[in-house]
Structure 1
Amino acid sequence: MKLKIVFSIFSLVWLSAKAQLPYGFVYVDDEIPSIKVELRYFSTNNFTGKVVDGYTDDVVILTKQATKALKKIQKQLLEQNLSLKIFDAYRPQRAVNAFWKWAKNVNDTLMKQEYYPNVAKKNLFKEEYIATRSRHSSGSTIDVTIVDLITNKELDMGTPYDYFGPESWVSYEGITKQQNENRMFLQTIMNKNGFRSYPKEWWHFTLRGEPFRNIYFDFIIE
């Protein structure tokens, strides 16, 4: 009930003039037109195998502060013929709820071989791959990789995005030297520009001093 009250306050008081975004949020491609986007949960190419509830368009939404930090990173990468590629950013709470519901259905293993081949689906909660709350819903967390603009290919990070397993941990040693260097390059440029990393997912970063910490928004992505 408390969360619902918080959402009501934000929706009534902090409503943006543009496209029903709460005040403090922006469309990232409006601010950084060169950034690449592949919003995985707006497709079937994700661990659920379905378009996820709350994703109705292939657009990226973040807080203004997180976007400002990303803009600096993108500028530095472009100077090296590289670009950020965004897999996920702001995530509605209803999408997190959909992940929770999916994880409880242990018979739905359509994407197991690609995303969690070595983890029993019944253990996804216990091993903290799925949770009932996500930093993404606070609007300053982003999942990213780096693309080489010469080849238009993603740098090899050793695992696919959203791979459930220790192979995705930043410190995992069972990858090649080049894969490790790519991971460290991503970690370094993100960390130096205001983000903190998550040790168990090489792609996951949250803005330090995020403005809406522990507030979980649920407006749809459109």
Structure 2
Amino acid sequence: MFERNSRFLLLLCLFVPFFVPLAVAQEAGLPDGFVYVDEVVPGVNVELRYHTEHNFVGTPIDGYRGARCILTREAAEALKGVQEDLKPFGLGLKIYDGYRPQRAVNHFVRWAQDLSDTRMKQEFYPGVDKADLFKEGYIAEKSSHSRGSTVDLTIVPLEAAESEAELDMGGAFDFFGPESRPDWPLLTPSRRAHRMLLQTLMRNHGFQPYPKEWWHYTLKNEPYPDTVFDFPVQ
């Protein structure tokens, strides 16, 4: 009897993993066509803001269960080229956000509709009434990030830790205001040069800038232009 029970337990241990629900198994990995950027771009610096409280909402965002940046393979390979162009000058890329699940975008929408929550206003949108965030185009119900080939980024010293200074772009990531436009006319020459350096390199490797945010770029020939994804970042 003991020997028979032992055999049963052994068989149970061998076959249980195959009965894990499909949804759980899929969430454990990445969909086909997506990669972790740090596995493709050597030395890239990642500070995934929406995994932290340091963002315009002031709390970790739905869907960001981990701090690793995800992009389509095509976008990540293109970023690798940008990183290689910067490396001879002792510079590299720092990423604030890449693929963004639709549930995160929904979180932004709910936050924008709650006009009583303005705790992060002074840092991120001091000159904009929260009631106007939709009208001004700072918040929307869909984001190109959810298609997997859009990235928010800047330039840093190649060996920089997260606490070290970035190149001075004349404005912070996710600042809602005209100062964030890539061509804002009141920039100093050095800040304009830094923005143009980033834009030139990103264009050279197939990315298209967004006219309202100096940090925001989308791969021109993105592989999923009509698909919105919602798998979590983890």
Shift of 1:149: 3.3
One-letter amino acid of the structure 2 residue matched with residue 36 of structure 1: N
- What is residue 171 of structure 2 aligned with on the other side? 159
> In structure 2, which of residues 45, 55, 76 is the aligned counterpart of residue 36 of structure 1?
45
CA contact (8 A) 2:44 2:93 kept: yes
Picking from 35, 45, 55, the partner of 2:54 is 45
Residue 95 (1) aligns with residue 104 (2): yes
Q: For the Cα contact (< 8 Å) 2:42–2:80, is it kept in 1?
A: no
Q: Which string of whole-angstrom CA distances, capped at 9 and with x for unpartnered residues, describes residues 110-143 of structure 1? A: 1000000000000000000000000000000000
| Whole-Å separation in 2 of the counterparts to 1:69 and 1:150 | 21
The answer on whether the counterparts of 2:70 and 2:233 sit within 8 Å (CA) in structure 1 is yes
Residue 118 in structure 1 maps to residue 127 in structure 2: yes
Scaled by the length of structure 2, the TM-score of the pair is: 0.86
3-state SS in 2 of match to 1:79: helix
| 1:179 paired to 2:188 | no
User: Per-residue CA shift, 1:51-86, capped at 9, x if unaligned?
Assistant: 000001110100010011001111111111001000
Asked if 1 retains the 8 angstrom alpha-carbon contact of 2:41 and 2:77, the reply is no
Amino acid at match of 2:222: E
**Which has more helix, going by share of residues?**
2
- Could you tell me how far 1:153 is from its partner in structure 2? 2.2
Deviation of 1:20 after TM superposition, in Å, equals 2.1
Question: Is the CA contact (8 Å cut-off) linking 1:139 and 1:212 kept in structure 2?
Answer: yes
Runs of 4+ with deviation above 6 angstroms: none
Distance 2:146 2:176 in 1: 20
CA apart distance, 1:33? 3.2
> Is 1:194 matched up with 2:203?
no
Asked whether the equivalents of residues 135 and 214 of structure 1 are also in contact (C-alpha less than 8 Å), the reply is no
Instruction: Return the alpha-carbon distance in structure 2 between the equivalents of residues 194 and 182 of structure 1.
Output: 19
Give the structure with higher Rg (CA). 2
Q: 2:70 aligns with which of 61, 65, 69?
A: 61
In structure 1, the residue matched to 2:4 is none
Unaligned 5+ segments in structure 1 are 1-11
Question: Does the CA contact (< 8 Å) of 1:42 and 1:55 recur in 2?
Answer: yes
Paired with 1:23 and 1:219, the residues of 2 have a C-alpha distance of 12
Q: Percent identity?
A: 52
**Matching residue of 1:136:** 145
Unaligned regions of 5+ residues in structure 2, if any? Answer: 1-21
Q: Which range moves more in the overlay, 102-111 or 145-154? A: 145-154
TM-score when normalising by structure 1: 0.90
In 2, Cα distance between the equivalents of 1:31 and 1:190?
17
Equivalences, count: 208
The reply on whether 1:220 has 2:232 as its aligned counterpart is yes
Q: What value does the CA root-mean-square deviation take over the aligned residues? A: 1.6
Aligned counterparts of 2:132 and 2:229: Cα–Cα separation in 1: 27
Structure 2 contact 115–131 (Cα < 8 Å) conserved: yes
Tell me by how many angstroms 1:160 deviates: 0.5
Is the Cα–Cα contact under 8 Å of residues 54 and 92 in structure 1 kept in the other structure?
A: yes
